[in-house]
Amino acid sequence: MTSADIDARMEGLQRDFPAYYAEIQSAIRRCFREPPGVRGVTAVLRFEIQRSGDIPGRSIQVHQRSGNVRFDVAAVGAIECAGERLGALPDDFPMDALQVQFTFEPRQ
Number of helices (H) and strands (E), helices first, in the chain? 3, 3
Q: Give the pLDDT band of residue 83 (cuts 50, 70, 90).
A: very high
Q: Find the domain containing 7 and state its range.
A: 3-104
Q: How would you classify residue 69: left for phi > 0, otherwise alpha for psi between -120 and 50, otherwise beta?
A: alpha
Pairwise CA distance, residues 76 & 83, whole Å: 11
Number of domains in the chain: 1
Give the model's pLDDT for residue 8.
52
Output the pTM of the full model.
0.87
Give the model's pLDDT for residue 108.
60
Report the mean per-residue pLDDT for the chain.
Answer: 88
Q: Give the pLDDT band of residue 59 (cuts 50, 70, 90).
A: very high
CATH of the domain at 73: 3.30.1150.10
Q: Is 59 exposed, middle or buried (0-12, 13-18, 19+ CB in 10 A)?
A: middle
Query: Is 49 a residue whose pLDDT tops 70?
Result: yes
- 2-43 pLDDT tens trace: 444 555 567 777 888 889 998 998 999 999 999 998 888 999
Pairwise CA distance, residues 95 & 33, whole Å: 31
Mean pLDDT score, 57-64: 95
On whether the CB atoms of residues 28 and 55 are closer than 8 A, the answer is no
